[in-house]
Structure 1
Amino acid sequence: MDIENGNVDQNTDPIEIIYEDEFLVAINKEAGLLVHRSWLDKGETRFALQLTRDAVGCHVFPVHRLDRPTSGVLLFAKSSSVARSLTEAFTERKVTKHYLAVVRGYMPEQGSIDHALSFKPDAIADKFASLDKPAQEAVTHWQSLAQIELSFAVSRKHDTSRYSLIRLIPETGRKHQLRRHMKHLFHPIVGDTSHGDGRHNRFFRSQYDCTRMLLHAQTLALSHPVTGEPLLLKAGLDDQWMRILEEFDWVESVEGLVPY
């Protein structure tokens, strides 16, 4: 089943539901929205979990996560039993995730990075977590979709600046995996204030009014936990993403994608 992105008026609906049945609901999470309440952000009042629950009229259970600055497909279960099944599917790598990202520099056409990631605790959320955890296996695959060279000297070392539009396919699901892997490869994601390059982030804010991290969970493919039917969930891109794609003439690179 191919679930296309819906057109929802954001002025009347606080979230965009892209799929729903009696067992599941998937939304297109906006950038900057927390999945659930956190001690790190006590002042926040909007959360994906509560907004989804209110929209569908029943309790929902998170089965995976997206970082706050990441947008895209976020899946919830409507019961604890379905949540357990989905969590197992994610753990057993039976769910395929495709992300879009804009990174600094020219990425090779395709490749993989197998680089273990150490545990990085949050000051408050992981206050009581053990710091002796060994580094965890982390594998990410990528495909370069488009490239551009701009006549702006963002770095003092170069007269021009280069960027790539890439598709990222994580094989594992470690904390901040894609962001940390791109940093490790010296191709940080544009707009990433934790693992990115501040000069390029500022350039995108001032030149293109892009105030978000350019990482988007575009598709999620899995077998339905109850019916076994294949599901392909898709999340559309927001205005800031579309502005960059249009400015760089990358729209066709995304529209021509064959997800699977």
Structure 2
Amino acid sequence: MWENYVLFIDGEAIVIDKPAGLAVHPGSKTRESLEDYLHHFRFGFQRLPLPVHRLDRDTSGCLLLARNPKAHKRFQRAFEEKKVAKAYIAVLDGIPKDDAGTIDIPLGKVSTAEEGWRIVPDPRGKAAVSHWRVAAVRDGRAVIIFTPETGRTHQLRVHAAEGLGIPISGDPVYGAGKGPMLLHAHKLEMVRVDKPPVSAVAPLPPTFVNAGFGDVDY
């Protein structure tokens, strides 16, 4: 069963297709997370693989795991140095006025006792840059390909809602929250010095197909 989630594997890296609804790390309100299932991805190794980055609980798709601590540090450095190429597919609750562009909006975190925490535009926050283009328009909604330069928490969700003025369909925090959130980590590629690149493509999940976007040319 678990091998069906593997998109790429070699001696130091695994890319899995993380299902929506599963958190990467445990938390105070998280009953289960990927950590509960990492032992299924040993594939003969004694060490558990470690997630190198995060995907939101409700985001599906490519997630990179490192199979040893040295690789983990090297892969994290590659993310920090923007040497990892990522492409996300999102369906928006509307259609942008342009066909493509770049969103450059720094982000910060706010928290209240009533609503909990969320990410907001903040001129003094961390730099966040997302490139985007429209891949298709259907039934009043646009399919967007996001290629982020940075990897801030909730970056694409806030950039869609605040930068484009149109939230991602199903976003429970920054949008209407009706139905599943349609955000998918479609591609991941990381160049390595002494090995072939880590490269993976995650097929669209059933939520996109059920919403009528399964046949879009990405």
Query: Which TM-score tier does this pair reach, normalised by the shorter chain?
Result: 0.7 to 0.9
Change (3 A) 1:73 1:25: same
Q: Give the CA deviation at 1:50.
A: 3.4
Which entry has the higher C-alpha Rg, 1 or 2? 1
Return the structure number with greater helix share: 1
Task: Name the amino acid aligned to 1:55.
Answer: F
Structure 2 residue 130 is the aligned partner of structure 1 residue 140: yes
Instruction: Give identity over the alignment, percent.
Output: 33
1:218, 1:49 → 2: CA distance? 22
1:84, 1:52 → 2: CA distance? 18
For residues 156-235 of structure 1, the aligned pairs below 5 Å read: 162-184=140-162, 185-198=164-177, 201=178, 211-224=179-192, 227-235=194-202
1:32, 1:143 → 2: CA distance? 26
Unaligned stretches of 5+ residues in structure 2: 118-122
CA offsets, 1:50-103, max 9 Å, x none? 323323253112211000000000011011110000000000100011000000
Structure 2 residue 208 is the aligned partner of structure 1 residue 241: yes
2:42, 2:86 → 1: CA distance? 24
Change (3 A) 1:121 1:85: farther
1:120, 1:98 → 2: CA distance? 27
Say which of 8, 18, 43 aligns to 1:29: 18
Change (3 A) 1:227 1:102: same
Unaligned stretches of 5+ residues in structure 1: 1-11, 128-132, 150-161, 202-210
1:218, 1:51 → 2: CA distance? 22
1:139, 1:168 → 2: CA distance? 10
Task: Name the amino acid aligned to 1:105.
Answer: G
**Is the contact made by 2:41 and 2:48 (CA closer than 8 Å) also made in structure 1?**
no
1:14, 1:191 → 2: CA distance? 29
Q: How many residues align?
A: 206
Say which of 32, 36, 60 aligns to 1:71: 60
Runs of 4+ in 1 over 4 A off after TM superposition: none
TM-score, normalising length from structure 2?
A: 0.86
Greater alpha carbon shift after TM alignment, 15-24 vs 91-100: 15-24
**Is the contact made by 1:104 and 1:164 (CA closer than 8 Å) also made in structure 2?**
yes
Say which of 43, 49, 54 aligns to 2:40: 54
**Is the contact made by 2:161 and 2:168 (CA closer than 8 Å) also made in structure 1?**
yes
Give the RMSD, CA atoms, in angstroms. 2.3
TM-score, normalising length from structure 1?
A: 0.73
Aligned to 1:207: none
SS at match of 1:39: coil
Change (3 A) 1:59 1:65: same
Return the structure number with greater strand share: 2
